[in-house]
Structures are given as structure tokens and as C-alpha cells.
Amino acid sequence: MHILLIEDQEKLADNIRKYLESEHYAVSVAHDGRIGFEKAMTLDIDLLILDINLPGLDGYRICTMLRQHKKSMPILMLTARAKQEEVIHGLNIGADDYLRKPFDLNELLARIRALLRRKSEEKQPMMTVGKLTLDTNTQEVRKGITRVNLSPKEYGLFEYLLRKRGSVQDRPSILEHVWGNRDDLLLSQTVDVHMATLRRKIGKSVIRTVPGKGYMIPA
């Protein structure tokens, strides 16, 4: 799952990013409202965490503009504001949930999981290929009844390719969705390394290499 975080407090943003990455999420970060809006419009993201007080464009404006452009990703708004009418305003313009600062990271994670569970009603919460089953609710992979221990990035790779099953995914697309960065050449090599370890764990025949194009799980 790919999360975009738009938060101008760099230390807070870095803490959130590190925590969510430890929980198997890919996280892209923007510290400016205009840059964040551009990322939200162009990146393939599953959820947006959006601060309200931002330079460039504030969170309310970003939320309004995204909904006007028919962007349907869940939006979790962060704010130090406590007035009920401000919370209501955010929900009325298209936000899905609200979290007041300061907050506990465990509560943030619980809110994220709840929003993604609602979104997963439109998708398959359980995905299978052969004897392998991936449960997006528990983020577990099993081969038969045996749990397959995957690292966060290995899990992200497997989930992404399963969701895109039947279509070839190139390295930039994989980097964007699993690492939150599509332009890092060193990470491009990392994709191949993680793919090799993932294959050893789930079976070499599950994921197909398409020379010159990328990777895919056949339909």
C-alpha cells in the first residue's frame, strides 16, 4: 500500500514515515501544499494523510481540489485545530477522517487501517495464486496453512503484483508503489534484489520476468 503524507513539520513527517514503513507501507512525503497536491494528482496512492496548515496550499484547498478532480483515495486530515466546526468543514469537503495533534502513532495506524479496510471493500481483501494466500487485513501470506515470513518490502512487492495480476509492471511503477520513489537508480537495483528473495520464499514460478519490461504474475 502506498501512502502520501503532506506535512510541513519535517521531524513529525519523518517520524510518521519511518513508523509506517516499519508497518509494511510505502510512504511518499511532501512538505509544501502545492508540491503535495501535484504528487496526489500524479502518484498511484492508496491513502492521503493531509495536514491542514501548509505553505503554498492549505489542506482544505487540497482536499477540495482533489475531490473536484474525482480523486477518490481516502483522506485522513491532521490538525492542531480543535473547533468542531472546522472538523465538520473538513468532512463536508471530502475528508474521510480527522486526527488532532498531538496524536499517538498507534492511533494513526489504527485510523489508516480502518480507512483502507473500507477501501478494500471495493477490492479483494484476500488474494490467492496457486497455494499462496495474501490477506490484506492481517498483512499475512500463507502457503497452505504455513505462514510465509516476508519483509515489509517483499510483502509490498507481492501485494502490488497480485493487485496488478495479468499486467506487466515496470521498475519505475514498482518503485513508486512499494518504495514511494520512481526515480532512484540505486533503488531500481534494489527491486531486483528483493524480487529474488521474494521468489525464493514463495516459489520461483509465481512471478514471471518479462525481459526488457518488468515483472508480472500471470492471470
**What pLDDT shows up at residue 185?**
55
Q: Which domains does the chain have, with CATH numbers?
A: 2-120 (3.40.50.2300), 126-216 (1.10.10.10)
Asked whether the beta carbons of 161 and 169 are under 8 A apart, the reply is: yes
Please list the pLDDT of the chain residue by residue as tens digits (219 residues). 899 999 999 999 999 999 999 888 989 999 999 999 999 999 889 999 999 999 999 999 999 999 999 998 999 999 887 677 888 888 889 999 999 999 999 999 999 998 988 776 555 678 999 999 999 878 899 999 999 999 888 998 999 999 889 999 988 888 888 877 655 555 667 888 889 999 999 999 999 999 989 999 998
By 3-state DSSP, what share of the chain in percent is helix, strand and coil, each rounded to 5?
A: 45, 20, 35
Residue 164 in 3-state DSSP? coil
Q: Are 50 and 21 in contact (CB under 8 A)?
A: no
Report pLDDT for 32: 96
What's residue 175's pLDDT?
A: 85
Render 97-127 in DSSP notation, one character per residue: EEEESS--HHHHHHHHHHHHHHHHTTS-SEE
